[in-house]
């Protein structure tokens, strides 16, 4: 039994999901004639109370399209130093949109409205790049699945309105935040101009992300997606997985969160573990004591068929997910108990 806790992207479609996919009605989505894609887009737009949604092959492409929609070359995007759009999208912000990122030194990938105010370049000072977009991430990936305080988001929204800045949410794991904090998609739809959500993380789809926004900004999104090479044809087979996941895999995220907390409790007891970051959703980030070899620790677990991942800077990560069964969980807890 291989236990893969490197990421929640490693899940494989269940029988139920595959059956739904096989039975999907499809058409050419480049002509917007795929009924299943259209249904998924309508459903997600409605969930968030927005006018439009567009299916993308990856979260990176959805985020990059959003950056393109909000900016002109030379502009600047405000985001956290941990942001996925800055660290893990191949430098796409500069490649695709010709923008720079003003990085905020936040806390676990989150920052305050005052930090945003400090990061905005005065629009009449033509020497500095024009600030045009604020992007936040919820839950934060590199921040260990931490959830934003919604009140802080509202305050930042106030500043974006005042200063006419776009406000984008990288909601790859927004589902985890909604479940953990008892929040609603509509809350987020009211605040953000654009939201990207992933179907291939906690929700267990093999592929797929969706970008959500109102008509005015989204009318150009389909062109940007085409330019990025993301116009897909009979892709309803994949959208069907998304519809299935929304029906079946949302509530169960609670189980992933519970398991992550239980892993954290055991890790805290290990003498080699220095700190475990506070666990709010399905991501566990921890650090080993000085002098303990990270690679050896990862290998010891791998020898027992438990796979975790190093994040750099002495941090290790474990992520719980749909394919991490109760039986696997017992095995992992026992391995730590025996250490
Ligand atoms: C996974 C993830 C994405 C999208 O990644 P893809 O691999 O391109 O689908 C975007 N933002 C965050 C925070 C993520 O965790």
Strands (E), 261-314: 273-276, 283-288, 306-307, 309-312
* Pocket around ligand 1 at a 6 A CB cut-off: 58-60, 63, 84, 137, 141, 170, 172-173, 198, 201, 209
In this prediction the pTM is 0.97
Name, in order, each residue with C-beta under 8 angstroms of 33's C-beta and a sequence gap of 6 or more. 27
- What is residue 202's three-state secondary structure? coil
d(C-alpha 126, C-alpha 129), whole Å: 7
Mean pLDDT for all residues in the chain: 97
Strand partners, 235: none
8, 198, 281: residue to mutate for ligand 1 pocket, most atoms within 8 A of CB: 198
CA of 94 to the centre of ligand 1 (A): 17
91, 106, 170, 203: residue to mutate for ligand 1 pocket, most atoms within 8 A of CB: 170
Tokens 């997606």: give the residue.
225
Q: List phi, psi (to 5°) of 33.
A: -105, 15
CA of 180 to the centre of ligand 1 (A): 19
- CB atoms closer than 10 angstroms to residue 6: 15
Handedness of CA 37, 41, 46, 47 (dihedral sign): positive
Q: List phi, psi (to 5°) of 316.
A: -120, 155
- What is residue 312's three-state secondary structure? strand
HEC string of 7-39 equals: CCCCCCCCHHHHHHHHCCCCCCHHHCCCHHHHH
Stated as kind and residue range, the H or E segment containing 169 is strand 166-171
Take residue 108 and report the two structure tokens written for it. 């676990």
CA of 172 to the centre of ligand 1 (A): 6
pLDDT (tens digit, 9 = 90+) per residue, 120-132?
999 889 999 999 9
* Low-confidence stretches of the chain (pLDDT beneath 70): none
Assess contact for 140 and 172: CB atoms under 8 A: no
Atom of ligand 1 at shortest range from CA of 170: 11
Burial readout 66-101 (b: 16 or more C-beta within 10 A, e: otherwise): bbbbbbeeebbbbbbebbbbbbebeebbeebbebeb
Q: Whose CA is nearest to atom 4 of ligand 1?
A: 59
Atom of ligand 1 at shortest range from CA of 137: 13
Give the residue from 218, 221, 243, 149 showing the smallest Cα distance to 187: 149
Strand partners, 306: 3
What's the confidence (pLDDT) of residue 190? 98
What's the confidence (pLDDT) of residue 313? 79
d(C-alpha 134, C-alpha 156), whole Å: 9
CA of 209 to the centre of ligand 1 (A): 9
d(C-alpha 47, C-alpha 62), whole Å: 18
CA of 59 to the centre of ligand 1 (A): 5
Cis peptide before 139 (omega within 30 of 0): yes
d(C-alpha 36, C-alpha 32), whole Å: 10
Q: How many Cα atoms occupy the beta-carbon half-sphere of 278 within 13 Å?
A: 5
139, 141, 309: residue to mutate for ligand 1 pocket, most atoms within 8 A of CB: 141
Stated as kind and residue range, the H or E segment containing 265 is helix 253-269
Name, in order, each residue with C-beta under 8 angstroms of 29's C-beta and a sequence gap of 6 or more. 37, 55, 231, 232, 233, 234, 235, 236
Q: Whose CA is nearest to atom 6 of ligand 1?
A: 59
CA of 337 to the centre of ligand 1 (A): 33
d(C-alpha 209, C-alpha 247), whole Å: 16
Assess contact for 236 and 36: CB atoms under 8 A: yes
């Amino acid at each position: 039994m291989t236990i893969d806790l490197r990421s929640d992207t490693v899940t494989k479609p269940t029988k139920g999901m595959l059956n739904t996919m096989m039975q999907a009605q499809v058409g050419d989505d480049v002509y917007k004639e795929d009924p299943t894609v259209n249904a998924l887009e309508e459903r997600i737009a409605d969930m968030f109370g927005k006018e439009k949604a567009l299916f993308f092959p990856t979260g990176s492409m959805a985020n990059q399209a959003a950056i393109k929609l909000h900016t002109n070359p030379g502009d600047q995007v405000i985001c956290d130093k941990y942001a996925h759009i800055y660290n893990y999208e191949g430098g796409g912000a500069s490649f695709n949109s010709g923008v720079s990122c003003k990085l905020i030194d936040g806390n676990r990938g989150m920052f305050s409205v005052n930090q945003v105010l400090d990061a905005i370049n005065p629009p009449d000072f033509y020497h500095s790049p024009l600030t045009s977009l604020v992007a936040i991430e919820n839950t934060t990936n590199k921040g260990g699945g931490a959830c934003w305080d919604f009140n802080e988001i509202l305050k930042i929204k106030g500043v974006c309105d005042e200063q006419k800045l776009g406000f984008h949410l990288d909601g790859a794991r927004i589902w985890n935040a909604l479940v953990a904090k008892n929040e609603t998609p509509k809350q987020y739809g009211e605040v953000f101009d654009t939201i990207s959500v992933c179907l291939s993380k906690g929700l267990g789809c093999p592929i797929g992300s969706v970008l959500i926004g109102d008509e005015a900004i989204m009318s150009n999104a389909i062109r940007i997606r085409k330019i990025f090479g993301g116009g897909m044809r009979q892709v309803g087979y994949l959208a069907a997985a998304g519809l299935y996941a929304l029906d079946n895999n949302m509530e169960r995220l609670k189980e992933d969160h519970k398991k992550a907390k239980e892993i954290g409790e055991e890790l805290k007891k290990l003498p080699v573990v220095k700190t475990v970051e506070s666990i709010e959703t399905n991501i566990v980030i921890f650090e080993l004591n000085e002098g303990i070899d990270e690679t050896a620790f990862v290998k010891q677990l791998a020898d027992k068929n438990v796979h975790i991942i190093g994040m750099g800077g002495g941090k290790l990560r474990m992520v719980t997910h749909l394919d991490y069964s109760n039986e696997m969980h017992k095995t992992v807890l026992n391995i730590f108990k025996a250490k």
